[in-house]
Amino acid sequence: MKSTSKYKNLLIVESPAKAKTINKYLGTDYKVMATVGHVIDLPKSKLGVDVDNGYEPLFETIYGKGKILKDLKKAVPKDGHVYLAMDPDREGEAIAWHVKDFLKAKNVKRVTFHEITKDAVLESIKNPSVVNEDLVEAQKARRVLDRLFGYKLSELLWKKIWFGLSAGRVQSVALRLVVEREEDIEMFKPEEYWEFFVKVKKVKEKLVIKLIRKDGKKYIPKSKEEVEDIQKSLGKSDYKVVDVVKKEIKKNPYPPYTTSTLQQSANNVLGYSAKRTMALAQRLYQAGHITYMRTDSVYLGQKAVDEIRKVILSKYGTEYLPESPRFFKNRSKNAQEAHEAIRPTDFSLDLNGIKGKLGNDESRLYSLIWKRAVSSQMKEKRVENLSIYFEPVDRLKNLYTFSVGAQKILFDGFRALYGNSKEESEILQEISNVKKDDTFEKEEFVTEQKFTQPPARYTEASLVKKLESLGIGRPSTYATIISTIQAREYVTKDGKFLLPTDIGRVVTHFLKKNFGDLVDYKYTANVEDKLDDIAMGKVEYIPFLDGQYKPLIKDIEKAREGVNKDDVVILGDSDEKCPECESSMVIRLGRYGKFLSCSRFPECKGMNDLDGKDDNLDFEKYLKVEECPKCGSKMLLKNSKYGKFWACEKYPECKGTVSLLLNENCPECGKPLVERRSKWGKMFKGCSGYPECKYIKKEVKKE
């Protein structure tokens, strides 16, 4: 039954928020409806790919989306047009294709909005196109490939490690990066080195000069003995200025944001995760405040450049405005010039103008985007680097060269938009009056022992940067990759740093040993390139999937036959004896961490906790529970998915357990306090007598 409403055209988007914004720009001739995301996908409970019939995906309606599809079909106007206005990427193209296939309507047109403004929406509707079959094919290939890899590998992980584990094509490579970085840190051997300074003076001028060269070559002392030899060699010598070097340096502004650089900046500056950043950016886009947030292009359209130059002129003046606009080169070889970088749609709305319209988090992200886009078209920052070089006056066996430097800002340029940075606000030594051949008297030596540091753990920002540099993933996938490896509990967070869990390490080593290509960086990047080639009509769907799937199945069959489960989950030997049969014990990885297991398992099921030993617990902070509240037996510290707890030694006969209690009593009922996590993930201290006592300790904010 067709709709009898007055509207002539139906415009379909994914998001109700996007629909609401677009509806403001269209008259009564249009009805705007939303699919609320994907409506058709592969089934959840089975493979859903007919491997023997050209890798045909067995798509089905997503649970709960049947009514939405029926409503869309009812809303199709009898003689009007249907506009499919899903997001301008492969995923949006695939949704548009699914909706078109379901509706079976005439006069179906494809429109895309790189920004949701009135002009952009009306212009796009005036110039509709058709669904791009190549983009749909590329998205279908990615979806099918990820399903084949994930489904088949997960089945193997269940058999060789334990049930419930999963592996993904791109996520496994990201996990490998985190695991290998942690192993590099663990294997790192710090090396000693020393920094050698001399405090010198000349009348009122006092400087601290640093040793940088020995006999014309870069030199860093490696031991205390070397430092003492240098001190002995230098003695009481004065120091003469042998060179004064002034050099002007220009620092160009950064290009406007792409998806990956926005995620990196939001993580570094605002502390937002990649997933949170994309959710906030999605809201800004759907509300019409920024251009589309999934892009790897740094291109700015002429209209945007003209608006930015007007803002610079009005806010900062002609001295900050370059004679001609800046253009930036795209690093991504597949970046589409038609797609702009992430930028505001209305540059007259800065942070002050947007605050009342947005929440605090959206405002902060918008401000970041506004500043980056505007600053990209400002003049460069100019600084003068002043470097002064000294040598000891006394003729020595070895020639030592010292230096001191300072930086003077000649013109702040684009940095005016950000204010003074930390490095610019540091107090630099006043050396501008020092001239060549000046002689300074030694006051004292200053030395400092240091050690080389291991590579830093990945943060979300640095992991996104690394993935992009390797050509792994695409703008729409970075946030999903990182959130997935955390959701699977392969990676945890320590502050802002990413740490692999024991199971994350085991899965990585298993995949590296048996599926080298799967976690190989070049191979994964090459697959991404092939998917891009499908999107451009250069590579065909079936040959591509054949080339990926058939070798995978061979490796899976080989691992299924050749890998013993114990070789994967047994991490090493132990000196302890089994409490049941006195046999030797091994360190085994279980679902909730490492533990000691009898080497005769499964004949003997004797086990002991490893990670949860008493000596691993801070008893100044936590109470030691001695007796089981049910039977009075000894209590042992155990590990679970949710952390440590006390359990009766007679388990499973007695199932007495006690939470980890704090050495701090509730002021209202006297029972010990416990640490709990709120539904938002924040830790707090509450009474162990909950729900009878609902006391929560208020933490004092640090100044």
Catalytic residues: 292
- Cα gap 82→474, rounded to integer Å: 30
Residue 411 is encoded by which pair of tokens?
């013109």
Residue 458's closest CA among 482, 474, 484? 482
Class of residue 587 by CB neighbours under 10 A (exposed 0-12, middle 13-18, buried 19+): middle
DSSP state of 52: T
Residue 4 is encoded by which pair of tokens?
């009898």
Residue 393 is encoded by which pair of tokens?
């006056």
Q: Is 587 helix (H, G, I), strand (E, B) or coil?
A: strand
- Cα gap 374→129, rounded to integer Å: 32
Residue 194's closest CA among 236, 241, 229? 229
How many other CB atoms sit within 10 Å of the CB of residue 152? 17
Distance of CA 649 to the CA centre of its chain: 42
Residue 283's closest CA among 362, 340, 182, 196? 362
Total residue length of the chain: 703
Query: For strand 239-251 and strand 439-451, is the pairing parallel, antiparallel, or unpaired?
Result: antiparallel
Residue 411's closest CA among 377, 379, 371, 373? 379
- Cα gap 563→159, rounded to integer Å: 10
Phi, psi (5° rounding) for residue 239? -130, 130
Residue 609 is encoded by which pair of tokens?
């906790």
Cis-peptide into 652, omega within 30 deg: yes
Per DSSP, what are the bridge partners of residue 649?
none
Q: Is 597 helix (H, G, I), strand (E, B) or coil?
A: strand
DSSP state of 700: P
Q: Is the dihedral of CA 503, 506, 510, 512 positive or negative?
A: positive
Q: Is 569 helix (H, G, I), strand (E, B) or coil?
A: helix
Per DSSP, what are the bridge partners of residue 243?
389
Per DSSP, what are the bridge partners of residue 206?
201
